[in-house]
Amino acid sequence: MVYKIYRKLGLVKDTLRLPFGVSEKSIYLIFSNNVVQPSVSQFVIKDYALSQSPLSPEKILTPFLPQNVERTDKGIDVTTNSCKIDYQLISKPISITPFSTFELPFVVDLKQGGFCIGLESQDGSKFLAYKYYRTPGLIRDTLRLPFGTADQNLKLIFANNVPEPSISHFIIKGFYVTQNLLSDHHLSRAYPLLTEQTLKLGNFTSQAQTQILQTEKMLKEGDVPIKPYFTLVEALKESVNPSSKQKMSPSLAHQIGDSIFDVF
């Protein structure tokens, strides 16, 4: 599964790591002779220690189509297959805590090409959030789940992302998930934004503006944030533009709703 060879005399200090994605439940450690011609070797094993750390679901990444991936001292080193946009690593399902924010800060060293980091629904039918990068260098950023996401589980993916089929190289230096329950303090910060949204409604009827005021009332009365969010978005989608006679698009309705609650 993994091995190293040494043929120079002297004190050797090194680390043996299992290859990325190993699924075996048990393994053997062996020390053996290794010389070019049959001969006797002498070595003293001064010390060694085994280190194992349980991984949270987002840290259990399964290789999908990478040319090569391995854990190193610098992080998870990924060399992609030649493609435009192919998944390279996929995590185990990550549970979403109801009524909470979901953030994933990450640090990636992009050496060549480009990559995409994303959160997708457990069934893989849609992306809930994603970002992509094509400029080499150290990237520090945060992926945030849109407020009001109804999915209970999601998966983290890393993918190649380049304009033409080619190989990318990046090192995932670190990432982690944070989820925090929303509080009354968070809700109170949303009030000033409510009236600002009326300016974005353009020619839509007063029904939408009325719903914004009702949403403010629900928040002040201490309603859980999920209810006023969806109530607002659904009402906005029913608003009609008098000039076009068309209802507000779901994307615009969610954009307005997200901007109100984005203070969390």
CB 63 within 8 A of CB 20: yes
| Residue 240 lies inside a defined structural domain of this protein | yes
How much is the pLDDT for 264?
A: 38
| Residue 114 lies inside a defined structural domain of this protein | yes
Of the residues 181, 204, 221, which one is the last residue of a structural domain?
181
Q: How confident is the model at residue 1 (pLDDT cuts 50, 70, 90)?
A: confident
In the predicted structure, residue 148 carries a pLDDT above the cut 90: no
In the predicted structure, residue 3 carries a pLDDT above the cut 70: yes
| Residue 65 lies inside a defined structural domain of this protein | yes
In the predicted structure, residue 214 carries a pLDDT above the cut 60: yes
How much is the pLDDT for 125?
A: 84
Mutual angle of helices 226-238 and 250-261, in 10-degree steps: 150
Name the one residue in this structure whose structure tokens are 């053997």: 28
Q: Do 167 and 196 sit in the same domain of this protein?
A: no
Q: How confident is the model at residue 130 (pLDDT cuts 50, 70, 90)?
A: very high
Name the one residue in this structure whose structure tokens are 């001969």: 39
The runs of H, that is alpha helices, within the chain are: 184-188, 191-196, 206-220, 226-238, 250-261
| Residue 175 lies inside a defined structural domain of this protein | yes
Of the residues 135, 157, 181, which one is the last residue of a structural domain?
181
| Residue 1 lies inside a defined structural domain of this protein | no
Domain total in the chain: 2
Between 199 and 243, where is the model more confident? 243
Q: Do 127 and 229 sit in the same domain of this protein?
A: no
Q: Do 61 and 163 sit in the same domain of this protein?
A: yes
Q: Across residues 178-202, what is the average pLDDT?
A: 52
Q: How confident is the model at residue 191 (pLDDT cuts 50, 70, 90)?
A: very low
Q: Do 139 and 190 sit in the same domain of this protein?
A: no
Q: Do 132 and 145 sit in the same domain of this protein?
A: yes
Q: Do 177 and 238 sit in the same domain of this protein?
A: no
Residue span of the structural domain in which 221 resides:
184-261
| Residue 89 lies inside a defined structural domain of this protein | yes
| CA distances for 115 relative to 88, 102, 170, angstroms | 9, 21, 8
pLDDT (tens digit per residue) in 228-252? 566 666 666 666 655 566 676 776 6
Q: Do 161 and 61 sit in the same domain of this protein?
A: yes
pLDDT (tens digit per residue) in 49-93? 887 765 667 677 888 888 899 888 888 999 999 999 999 999 999
Between 148 and 166, where is the model more confident? 166
Between 188 and 95, where is the model more confident? 95
Please name which of 213, 238, 216, 234 lies closest in space to residue 225, comparing C-alpha atoms: 216
Q: Do 190 and 234 sit in the same domain of this protein?
A: yes
pLDDT (tens digit per residue) in 7-57? 999 999 998 877 655 667 788 899 999 999 999 999 999 998 887 765 667
| Residue 87 lies inside a defined structural domain of this protein | yes
Q: Do 107 and 207 sit in the same domain of this protein?
A: no
Q: Do 93 and 198 sit in the same domain of this protein?
A: no
How much is the pLDDT for 124?
A: 84
CATH number at residue 145: 2.60.120.260
In the predicted structure, residue 109 carries a pLDDT above the cut 80: yes
Q: Which of 15-19, 98-102, 154-158, 250-254 has the highest mean pLDDT?
A: 154-158
Q: Do 144 and 223 sit in the same domain of this protein?
A: no
CA atoms within 13 A on the CB side of 153: 9
Of the residues 181, 203, 219, which one is the last residue of a structural domain?
181
How much is the pLDDT for 62?
A: 84
CB 197 within 8 A of CB 218: no
| Residue 150 lies inside a defined structural domain of this protein | yes
Q: Do 207 and 245 sit in the same domain of this protein?
A: yes
How much is the pLDDT for 127?
A: 87
